[in-house]
């Protein structure tokens, strides 16, 4: 029965500490704020009680007294409580007050520091808050108070003289007054300054100017909270050290329409390249019941997708069988992902065609003797492969292992899709079901990325022309194609 005051970091889920993740995964109660990473609660227990105490769209937040009361009450009742706060709980987070309330009530507490925005947002903007040559001290300052308030808790003259970097939290709206007051108190008007909006998040933006001009520049760029402002020579280093906003897909939103269970690999690749990956699954894989293949019956077994492999083995395992059921057969796989899924289950595919479509497999099988083939695949699939094998005189068993069914987008996913710069389609069923689910056309302005010719055809059937078609028809190929389109777009914009 401990209350943990836990820092969630500035927004990038990767900056949640190992300790924070461990506590979140076992908490009975999680009391959380608005500025926490979007995925922070994903691994909470299904039974955990989640209590939101942040501000609702700029409205009133739950009062600090009320938050303290909830923490004390749940803690005293013996629950494992996580009080999750943006950044670090003891840096402008009122964590100190919560700890005092717990102490007064005799409820044990622990503090888990977090990565604070005042360090992380500049770091992601390419600005080190200290530097041997440029700043030997850093001050974290609240920008919450109006600097001309007569009873201000801040000593502006001292801040103006402060020999190092000044980092302001909560100060975007008052940036004008803050800068003016610092200059009035003697700080150099030409000192470099920066504002970092939504630091560490996919849409991070940074404005660099001088103390005299930063407020104006930030306003021109419509910088909004959450943002930190920084005054110091170190702001100049951004020119050399910018990295996060320079990543190839930085600032772009990419929708992933494949099934939720398969989306994470592609989403992770896109995020690593700097994109905001929006998961808008339009399909779901529903395994079909049925018997496993009869061991030893086939001399060729064809698998056409990783889903097919996993469903086929599920059937084998359920019947007490394993990979030895195919011991006498040649195994063919369409696509490296399918081959990988087989290898994970102890089978190395004999044939993996160069082209990852049924036609490619037909070509690859040209010289291969086949008497009785098993084609294990989705219920709805093209008949290119069975037809071609039958034509060659083979007996063909087609085993429908799973169905691809529609997954409805919820309202948040629809909204997110609406701001996508790219929408990726990894199969014709993602095209069909997404359009069905939307009931209207795709959002305007998004560029459509197709994994290959079959998926592109599905788009054309709906009157849509793909902007990008992968020349390698797998996830790597799709990411590559998207990247080169984004680069071309940037070049185009740069020349304009």
Catalytic residue IDs: 33, 55, 170
- Can you tell me the distance from the alpha carbon of 160 to that of 172, in angstroms, rounded to the nearest whole number? 18
| Closest separation in Å from C-beta 338 to ligand SAH | 40
The CB-of-93 to ligand SAH minimum distance in angstroms stands at 3
Per-residue interface string for the shown chain with ligand SAH, residues 169-208, x marking contact by CB under 6 A: xx-------------------------x-xxxx-------
Task: Compute the least distance from the CB of residue 107 to ligand SAH, in Å.
Answer: 22
The least distance separating ligand SAH from the CB of residue 228, rounded to whole angstroms, comes to 4
Kindly state the helix (H) or strand (E) to which residue 29 belongs, with its residue range.
strand 29-32
Min dist CB 68 to ligand SAH, Å, is 17
Between residues 11 and 274, which has the closer beta carbon with respect to ligand SAH?
11
Give the nearest distance from C-beta 144 to ligand SAH in angstroms.
8
The candidate with the shortest Cα–Cα distance to 114, out of 141, 94, 142, 86, is 86
Other CB atoms within 10 Å distance of the CB of residue 56: 10
Distance CA(475)–CA(481), nearest Å, equals 10
Please give the C-alpha separations between residue 280 and each of 267, 422, 430, in angstroms, as whole numbers.
11, 12, 10
| Size, binding site for ligand SAH by CB under 6 A | 24
Could you say which residues in the range 277-336 bind ligand SAH, by CB under 6 A? none
DSSP at 17 = -
> Judged by CB under 6 A, which of 180, 225, 406, 438 binds ligand SAH?
225
Helix (H, G, I), strand (E, B) or coil at 453: helix
| 165 scored as a contact of ligand SAH (CB under 6 A) | no
Residue closer to ligand SAH by CB (options 93, 306) is 93
Burial-class residue 181 by CB neighbours within 10 Å (0-12, 13-18, 19+): buried
Which range binds ligand SAH by CB under 6 A, 22-30, 96-104, 156-164, 224-232? 224-232
Binding mask 8-27 for ligand SAH (x = CB under 6 A): --xx----------------
Min separation Cβ 254 and ligand SAH, Å: 21
CB 332, min distance to ligand SAH, A: 49
Residue of 41, 82, 228, 254 interacting with ligand SAH (CB under 6 A): 228
Chain centre to alpha carbon of residue 359: 35
Calpha distance 93→5 (Å, rounded) = 10
Decide if 243 contacts 202 (C-beta within 8 A).
no
Interaction with ligand SAH in 70-129: which residues (CB under 6 A)?
A: 85-88, 91-93, 116-117, 121
For residues 95 and 386, which CB has a smaller minimum distance to ligand SAH in the complex? 95
Task: Decide if 107 contacts 76 (C-beta within 8 A).
Answer: yes
Q: What H or E segment, with its residue span, contains residue 58?
A: none
Interface segment toward ligand SAH; rule CB under 6 A; list 44-52, 225-233, 298-306, 343-351: 225-233
The Cα 492–Cα 335 span in angstroms is 34
* Number of other residues whose CB lies within 10 A of the CB of residue 366: 8
CB closer to ligand SAH out of 93 and 335: 93
Return the residue nearest ligand SAH (CB atom): 87
89 vs 335, beta carbon nearer ligand SAH? 89
* 259-286 b/e (C-beta count within 10 Å ≥ 16 → b): beebbeebbebbbebbbbbbbbbbbbbe
Compute the 3-state secondary structure of the chain and give helix, strand, coil in percent, each to the nearest 5.
35, 20, 40
Nearest to 401 by CA among 249, 291, 275, 246: 291
Distance CA 115, CA 271 (A): 20
Burial class (CB in 10 A: 0-12, 13-18, 19+), 28: middle
- Report the site for ligand SAH in 393-432 (rule: CB under 6 A): none
Is the four-CA dihedral 128, 130, 131, 135 of positive or negative sign? Answer: positive
Q: Closest distance between ligand SAH and the C-beta of residue 96, in Å? A: 11
Using the minimum distance from each CB to ligand SAH, give the nearer residue, 170 or 277. Answer: 170
Taking Cα atoms as reference points, which of 338, 323, 408, 330 lies closest to residue 372? 330
Nearer of residues 68 and 116 to ligand SAH, judged by Cβ:
116
Q: CB-wise, 230 or 342, nearer to ligand SAH?
A: 230
Residues 344-373 within binding reach of ligand SAH (CB under 6 A): none
* Closer residue to ligand SAH in complex, CB, 85/187: 85
Binding mask 27-46 for ligand SAH (x = CB under 6 A): --------x-----------
Question: How far is Cα 193 from Cα 208, in angstroms, rounded to an integer?
Answer: 6
Q: Which positions lie near ligand SAH, rule CB under 6 A?
A: 10-11, 35, 85-88, 91-93, 116-117, 121, 169-170, 196, 198-201, 225-228
């Amino acid at each position: 029965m401990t209350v943990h005051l836990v820092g969630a970091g500035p927004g990038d889920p990767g900056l949640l500490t190992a300790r924070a993740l461990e506590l979140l995964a076992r908490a009975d109660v999680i009391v959380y704020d608005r500025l926490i990473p979007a995925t922070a609660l994903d691994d909470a227990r299904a039974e955990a009680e989640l209590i939101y105490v942040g501000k609702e769209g700029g409205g009133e937040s739950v009062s600090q007294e009320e938050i303290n009361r909830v923490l004390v009450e749940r803690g005293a009742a013996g629950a494992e409580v996580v009080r999750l706060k943006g950044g670090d709980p003891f840096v402008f987070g009122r964590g100190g007050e919560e700890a005092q309330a717990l102490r007064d009530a005799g409820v044990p507490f622990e503090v888990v520091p977090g990565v604070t925005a005042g360090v992380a947002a500049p770091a992601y903007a390419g600005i080190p808050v200290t530097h041997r040559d440029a700043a030997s001290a850093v001050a974290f300052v609240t920008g919450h108070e109006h600097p001309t308030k007569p009873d201000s808790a801040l000593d502006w003259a001292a801040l103006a003289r402060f020999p190092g970097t000044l980092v302001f939290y909560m100060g975007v709206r008052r940036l004008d007054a803050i800068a003016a007051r610092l200059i009035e108190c003697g700080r150099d008007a030409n000192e470099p300054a920066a504002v970092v909006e939504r630091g560490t998040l996919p849409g991070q933006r940074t404005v660099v100017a001088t103390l005299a001009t930063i407020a104006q520049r930030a306003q021109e760029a419509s910088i909004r909270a959450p943002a930190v402002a920084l005054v110091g020579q170190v702001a100049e280093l951004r020119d050399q050290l910018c990295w996060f906003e320079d990543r190839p897909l930085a600032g772009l939103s990419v929708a992933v329409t494949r099934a939720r269970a398969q989306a994470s690999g592609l989403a992770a690749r896109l995020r690593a390249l700097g994109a905001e990956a929006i998961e808008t699954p339009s399909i779901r894989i529903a395994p079909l019941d049925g018997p496993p293949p009869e061991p030893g019956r086939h001399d060729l077994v064809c698998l056409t997708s990783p889903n097919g492999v996993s469903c086929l083995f599920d059937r084998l395992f359920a019947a007490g069988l394993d990979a030895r059921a195919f011991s006498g057969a040649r195994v063919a796989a369409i696509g490296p992902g399918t081959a990988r899924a087989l290898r994970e289950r102890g089978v190395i595919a004999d044939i993996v065609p160069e082209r990852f479509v049924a036609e490619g497999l037909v070509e690859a099988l040209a010289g291969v003797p086949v008497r009785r083939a098993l084609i294990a695949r989705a219920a709805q699939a093209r008949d290119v492969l069975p037809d071609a094998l039958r034509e060659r005189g083979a007996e063909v068993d087609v085993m429908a292992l799973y169905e691809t069914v529609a997954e409805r987008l919820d309202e948040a996913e629809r909204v997110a899709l609406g701001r996508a710069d790219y929408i990726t389609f990894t199969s014709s069923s993602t095209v069909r079901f997404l359009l069905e689910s939307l009931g209207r056309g795709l959002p305007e302005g998004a560029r459509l990325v197709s994994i290959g010719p079959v998926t592109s055809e599905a788009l054309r059937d709906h009157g849509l022309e793909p902007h990008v078609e992968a020349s390698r028809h797998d996830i790597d190929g799709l990411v590559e194609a998207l990247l080169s389109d984004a680069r071309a777009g940037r070049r185009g914009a740069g020349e304009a």
